Structure 1
Amino acid sequence: MWPFSRRPVVPVLRFSGPIGMSTPLRPGLSLGATAAAIERAFSLSKLPSVAVLINSPGGSPVQSSLIFKRLRQLAQEKDKKIYVFCEDVAASGGYYLAVAGDEIYADAASIVGSIGVISAGFGFVDAIEKLGIQRRVYTAGIAKGQLDPFQPEKPEDVERLKDLQRDVHDVFIGVVKERRGSKLAVVDSEVFSGAFWSAKRALDIGLIDGITDVRTKMRELHGDKVVLRMVPTARSGLLGAMRRPPSAQEFIANPGSLADDLVSAIEARGLWSRYGL
């Protein structure tokens, strides 16, 4: 019996969407946008459990790392156990967030993994040449203009990018090994290849601990009377999710803002589409 017949409460955090990048209708996941909610979740209940729902195709490795570290710091300070539940997808940076969990679960149809680093873009050299457009770039620093999509690609620039990706990948691998090392059942070349899997295969590999949902698991741990209390994360302003498009005058004054939003939306769509979503 709980004191004063109060029902046990489990705080629930939900991280949904691309990490770091912003889209026209939703700010990207970042430590700045989620820090207050994370802090509140670890102070909301006396139960030793915090549930985290993740539905993210990844994004910024830095913001993934910052959110991961904050979750682990508070789990240790407050002596709480984090239970992570993957929704449609917990891949790349989304899986980086997932390994903050002491236990990781997924739905049978979830997509999990993609432990790798990717950089993608376009080359417009031939296109601007056909249009008779000259590209003029002036820099101080010989590497400042590397990988410019309007200039011919240089092998040394590509190798520099690959070196950077290897460094970031090594950090990601280190975190996964630290958090899941004893549970991983396959060789490094497979699990860290950037591939992603269904929940069943992810369970066989050792990337997750089981296939279930948050309500079922919390009832197993804390009884049928347990209450799941969502802790909302921040948005950009009170009506950030309903942000109106810029007026004609605003667009004329700052045409780059609409272009930036459009590029962010395309990038976000590209992240989700990798997983068939």
Structure 2
Amino acid sequence: MTDQTSKDLPGESRFAANPTVGNWERETLEKLVFATVQERRAARRWGIFFKLSFLIVALLALWAYYDFNFGTTDENLGRHTALIEINGEIEAEGSGAADTVIPSLNKAFSDPGSAAVVMRIDSPGGSPVQAGIIVDEIQRLKRGYPDKPLYVVVDEICASGGYYIASAADRIYVNKASIVGSVGVLMDSFGFTGTMDKLGVERRLLTAGANKGFLDPFSPQSEKHKAHAQEMLNEIHQQFISVVRAGRGKRLKETPETFSGLYWTGARAVEMGLADGFGTVDTVARDIVKAEDIVDYTAHEGLPERVLKKFGAAVGENAVKAATRGALPQLR
């Protein structure tokens, strides 16, 4: 009778009649209310975070846009030395890509205020295709602007594909400790056939075309394919040699080692005729060009590319490039 009566009592009377039941319900209600409040607070915080993030990205994008478009105006900059920088490998993307370097070269040469163009190169080499395209454009611009010299200043290293580009300049200036040269071509990969045999792994490669499996790392290398690869390397090497000979002319003191793929210090490079003297961008602008004001024409990487790379959008592409790079000829 008492239990039934306590169940029928409303509100506080019920809690008073049965304190255990009342405490449990209070605690449950408090927990639910607290959890709801916390969830709403978290949702508001995340909403604010995403809105602020979007705002920051938008502001950075606007800043980058206006900095890029208005930082290099067509106003008369006066007599100056035009600077273009190449840092890193010569490849289809980055500061060493033809699509990046060529527009900068055209702007620098066509600017009536630029007394000369200086390319500062710090590169171990890379793609002979990209280097060749840049050299062809340099030669075209030099014919179109015969009174505007092009100089190269070497920082740490100017080897292989980097030197391929540098050899097209009117003069090359180095530091005595710079690394210069490496006039050669390579093609490298790995062979896993022995490891596969030990592990009992069978390579099943189907091709349409007798040579479609050329340089497949999981198949034995035939003498025919090896000879064909060597023929391609020799051909590209001769193209490299021709560009160096044409660019350096009588200044080049050829020896059997000149085109062997070796590289030398800047001091030795000057002795060999691979470079003309010692200097920096500042000393060349001041002492050679006689125009101390330096204007940078380098096309720098834009904000979208930086953001995508930072968050890993280019990871997959770079992995594929890394996996296939060895199968292509490299000026490195």
TM-score over 0.5 for the pair: yes
Q: CA offsets, 1:65-123, max 9 Å, x none?
A: 10011112112212211011011111101000101210110112210000011111111
Q: 1:139 to 1:263 in 2, by over 3 A?
A: closer
Partner of 1:12: 83
Secondary structure, counterpart of 1:33 in structure 2: helix
Using the TM superposition, give the Cα deviation of residue 178 of structure 1 relative to its aligned residue in structure 2, in angstroms: 1.0
1:240 aligned onto 2:305? yes
1:107 aligned onto 2:175? yes
Using the TM superposition, give the Cα deviation of residue 10 of structure 1 relative to its aligned residue in structure 2, in angstroms: 0.8
Measured in 2, the distance between the counterparts of 1:77 and 1:50 equals 14
Partner of 1:259: 319
Write the letter of the residue equivalent to 2:280: D
Secondary structure, counterpart of 1:219 in structure 2: helix
Which residue of 281, 284, 293 corresponds with 1:214? 281
Partner of 2:142: 75
Measured in 2, the distance between the counterparts of 1:258 and 1:63 equals 18
Partner of 1:149: 217
Which residue of 129, 133, 150 corresponds with 2:197? 129
Does the CA contact (< 8 Å) of 2:84 and 2:297 recur in 1? yes
Does the CA contact (< 8 Å) of 1:55 and 1:86 recur in 2? yes
Measured in 1, the distance between the counterparts of 2:319 and 2:201 equals 20
Secondary structure, counterpart of 2:208 in structure 1: coil
Segments of structure 2 that go 5 or more residues without pairing to the other structure are 1-76
Partner of 1:183: 251
Segments of structure 1 that go 5 or more residues without pairing to the other structure are 1-5
Which residue of 73, 89, 97 corresponds with 2:165? 97
Does the CA contact (< 8 Å) of 2:154 and 2:175 recur in 1? yes
- TM-score, with structure 1 as normaliser: 0.82
Q: CA offsets, 1:112-163, max 9 Å, x none?
A: 0000111111111122333333222111211111111001111111111111
- 115-124 vs 130-139, which deviates more? 130-139
Measured in 1, the distance between the counterparts of 2:317 and 2:284 equals 44
Using the TM superposition, give the Cα deviation of residue 7 of structure 1 relative to its aligned residue in structure 2, in angstroms: 5.5
Partner of 2:107: 40
Using the TM superposition, give the Cα deviation of residue 258 of structure 1 relative to its aligned residue in structure 2, in angstroms: 5.9
Q: 5 Å matches for 1:55-74?
A: 55-74=122-141
Q: 1:31 to 1:258 in 2, by over 3 A?
A: closer
Number of paired residues? Answer: 251
Query: Which structure has more helix as a fraction of its residues?
Result: 2
Measured in 1, the distance between the counterparts of 2:287 and 2:318 equals 48
Measured in 2, the distance between the counterparts of 1:32 and 1:7 equals 27
Secondary structure, counterpart of 1:137 in structure 2: coil
Q: CA offsets, 1:164-192, max 9 Å, x none?
A: 111111111111111113011232x2111
Does the CA contact (< 8 Å) of 2:179 and 2:263 recur in 1? yes
Partner of 1:51: 118
Larger Rg: 2
Using the TM superposition, give the Cα deviation of residue 34 of structure 1 relative to its aligned residue in structure 2, in angstroms: 2.2
Measured in 1, the distance between the counterparts of 2:213 and 2:281 equals 48
Q: 1:219 to 1:208 in 2, by over 3 A?
A: same
Measured in 2, the distance between the counterparts of 1:259 and 1:129 equals 27
Measured in 2, the distance between the counterparts of 1:182 and 1:169 equals 20
- TM-score, with structure 2 as normaliser: 0.69
